[in-house]
Amino acid sequence: MVKKQKSSMVLKQRERARARDEKVSGERSVDKDPTELRGETPRGDSDTTSSDDEKPDQVFRSDTKQSQTTLKAARHEKGEPSKPLLDEKHRHLWELRPSLGKGTGMFARKKITRGTRLLADECLIHLPEPKPLLIDIERAFDQLQPNQQAAYMGLHCPDRPGLSPVVRVWEANCFRMGKGGGICLKASRINHSCTPNAFFAWNVKIQRETVHAIVDIQADEEIFINYCHSHADVYSRQQKLTPYGFDCDCAPCLQNTASGRTSEARRCRMGELYEKIKDVQDDLRNIIARHWREDELQARLELVDLLEKERVFQLELRNQYHCVAMCYDNRRNKPKALEYAKKAAQTALLCVGPDSDIYEGDRQWIQELNEAEM
């Protein structure tokens, strides 16, 4: 009995360790959840939100007053209604209009500062299963009002023989939402780039799909999110994008240019490092000792450097910052642990906002590290 319990514990530790290194880049399809495959967080592990209350350069304020986030969470626990974050609040920031070669796209009306929430989109259809049956998609569509059905069918519908138009729209526009998936009319209009300027995430607390600017966006610039893994090679990315009915022509995908070839080399190396980290995690001693092996730390530091050079300012980068901080913490190097924990929190704030569980957990861990240094 003791042996079985120990074996079960080891398996759970291995699963948690592998979860920390799932390749997060914000995959849009229901095959992967862009926010559930996060690195391990000390506190909280649900999906995310954002607001304009706090910007990334304001992460580490030393005031001890109760934050707006805490107050909102308290109201949520008591069942008190909170003010809905309707997407109309953000409509002055962007507009939907034709995008050359891409159908409809979202464009900035004015200069937008990184960390700004662009959208809090309501879900039109939500299904609880990550891979619903085709008949369930059809039934959900049949329950919509006529004007909602018209809006649904106005979304991108690629040519996929053997599938009904309703299912084709679902597969091309569905976002992963917790354990299920859904359609959001405005967020579905945002086009793809392998070097996006925005990041999307499902917000469990307000039940909205949120989108945040992860770099400064200039007026009249198109807003992009990433539909697939950042670290995949160009062939794998193009294969992943096939169901959406287009070929990506962003800078990293143009292999006839020097910058495209440089990007390809970096992204291929990222994939190699992820495989190396997985191999390290198969070492039982490393799982139990929590980031004991030196080659794990070196692989993660190299991965962080490549992600920064590729400007992948997404949760994928936050996860690696966090794991590097854990490596240093287990080596009792508190200054370095604190440095990377702050980078993780700042990236989480940039991508998903101040009232996300990821950011709140990161910030609480920073406080614990600060207290440990005293």
Question: In this predicted model, what pLDDT tens digit does every residue of 204-221 receive, in sequence order?
Answer: 878 889 999 999 999 999
Range 323-350 average pLDDT: 94
> Do 323 and 340 touch, CB atoms closer than 8 A?
no
pLDDT surpassing 80 at residue 341: yes
Range 280-302 average pLDDT: 76
Of 25-34, 37-46, 105-114, where does mean pLDDT reach its minimum? Answer: 37-46
Range 334-338 average pLDDT: 94
Read off the pLDDT band of 9 (50, 70, 90): very low
pLDDT surpassing 70 at residue 46: no
What is the spatial distance between Cα 349 and Cα 48, in angstroms, rounded to a whole number? 10
pLDDT, residue 101, reads 83
Give the strand pairing for 222-225 and 191-192.
parallel
Q: Where are the beta strands (DSSP E) in 186-263?
A: 191-192, 198-203, 208-213, 222-225
pLDDT surpassing 50 at residue 84: no
pLDDT, residue 129, reads 86
Mean residue pLDDT across the chain: 78
pLDDT, residue 90, reads 76
| Helix 165-173 × helix 146-153 angle, to 10° | 70
| Among candidate residues 73, 115, 53, 23, the one with its CA nearest the CA of residue 360 | 73
pLDDT, residue 374, reads 63
pLDDT, residue 293, reads 77
pLDDT surpassing 90 at residue 155: yes
pLDDT surpassing 90 at residue 115: yes
Question: In this predicted model, what pLDDT tens digit does every residue of 126-139 receive, in sequence order?
Answer: 999 878 999 999 99
- N- to C-terminal Cα separation, the chain: 43
pTM (2 d.p.): 0.74
Question: In this predicted model, what pLDDT tens digit does every residue of 216-235 receive, in sequence order?
Answer: 999 999 999 999 888 888 99
pLDDT surpassing 50 at residue 21: no
Task: Mark out the alpha helices in the chain (DSSP H runs).
Answer: 2-20, 68-77, 134-142, 146-153, 165-173, 234-241, 258-281, 284-289, 294-309, 315-330, 334-352, 357-373
pLDDT, residue 288, reads 60
- CA 81 to chain centroid: 27
pLDDT surpassing 70 at residue 363: yes
Range 268-283 average pLDDT: 86
Question: In this predicted model, what pLDDT tens digit does every residue of 162-191 receive, in sequence order?
Answer: 899 999 999 999 998 888 999 999 999 999
Contacts of 112 (CB under 8 A, 6+ apart): 93, 118, 213, 216, 217
pLDDT, residue 354, reads 86
pLDDT, residue 103, reads 87
pLDDT, residue 295, reads 85
Range 274-289 average pLDDT: 74
pLDDT surpassing 90 at residue 309: yes
Give the whole-number percent of the chain exceeding pLDDT 70: 73
